[in-house]
Amino acid sequence: MAPPPLDILLAAPRGFCAGVDRAVQIVERALARFGAPVYVRHEIVHNRFVVEGLRRRGAVFVEELDEIPDRTRPVVFSAHGVPKSVPETAERLGLFSLDATCPLVTKVHRAAESHHERGRHVLLIGHTGHPEVIGTMGQLPEGAVTLVTSVEDVARITPPDGPLAYTTQTTLSVDDTAAIVAALEARFPDIAGPHRQDICYATTNRQEAVKAVAPRVQAMIVVGAPNSSNSQRLREVAEREGCRAVLLQRAADIDWADFEGVDRLGITAGASAPEILVEEMIEAFAARREVRVETVVTAEETVVFNLPKGLRDPAPDAAREE
């Protein structure tokens, strides 16, 4: 007896955000313009499929700049941002660098610097050891930032006397962060915050889409990497809505026993997961069952970030003049 049809609800928005798309384009265009190898400090984005694809085209990933043997080659800084010491080191070593930091992460960096210049100690809401957190803390002198990871941390921290400000990692859970901010404002009523939340539009939109899909399905797949903060938050959001959720990198990772008896399945993807991996998931289920796909749209995204000047296409007029 054939299994019943499987209804797949696709969350939208999902997958690549403007910051990730820009970062990947920077590496691709650097390879096209300068040839291989192009060095990349840290994973350009947290997705093995993307990283391996760029590696096959000539990108070489390193953790530190002193690992680069040929200093005539370009080096790209990842989308997560880097401490100030990294571009300073690149300049000292004579490296030509391209900064793929997401502009929304750069905005957090500038806000932290502004608070510091105004004499405020900065409380950074984020996850210990995440590259974005390391990069943001590295914008200011040591000791100028205190990391806050949870509501419980708010009661434990002992910031220096004087004015305070907070900022946040861009890929956090919207709900968790709101709780931490509320706790900070309760303990430190005069704390300064951002004019608008630092959690990026794409993180917020993807979490809202999951909230719309999760109550309608029996299980949800989040396509993404285990070291991707925004992907892990999507899984947590689905679970908070009462839905069983798993984080998978590829269709080959599917444990089919987990989906026995599931007739309504949700699928989303973290901001660093390309759409081809979502299609791969759907095809894997379609090979076993009749699938009916519905897209649940909760927001339209039109944000596009400019590439660095050295990598942009020439303007049409300039092209004609040539």
- CATH fold of the domain at 104-187: Cobalt-precorrin-4 Transmethylase; domain 1 (3.40.1010)
Catalytic residues: 132
Who has greater pLDDT, 42 or 314?
A: 42
Q: What is the pLDDT of residues 98-140, one digit of tens each?
A: 999 999 999 999 999 999 999 999 999 999 999 999 999 999 9
Beta bridge partners of 62: 41
pLDDT digits (tens, 9 = 90+) for 184-226: 999 999 999 997 778 899 999 999 999 999 999 999 999 999 9
Yes or no: say if 271 and 203 are a contact pair by the CB < 8 Å rule: yes
Once rounded to an integer, what is the mean pLDDT over residues 129-153? 97
Domain ranges of the chain: 6-16+201-297, 18-102, 104-187
Q: Do domains 6-16+201-297 and 18-102 have the same CATH topology?
A: no
Instruction: Please give the pLDDT value at position 247.
Output: 98
pLDDT in tens, 229-280: 999 999 999 999 999 999 999 999 999 999 999 999 999 999 999 999 999 9
Return the ∠ at Cα 151 (arms to 146 and 155), rounded to 5°.
65
Phi-psi region of 265 (alpha: psi -120 to 50; beta: other; left: phi over 0): beta
- Global confidence as pTM: 0.92
Class of domain 18-102: alpha beta
d(CA 192, CA 185): 9
Euclidean distance between CA atoms 226 and 249, whole angstroms: 8
For the record, the structure tokens of 253 come out as 């990772």
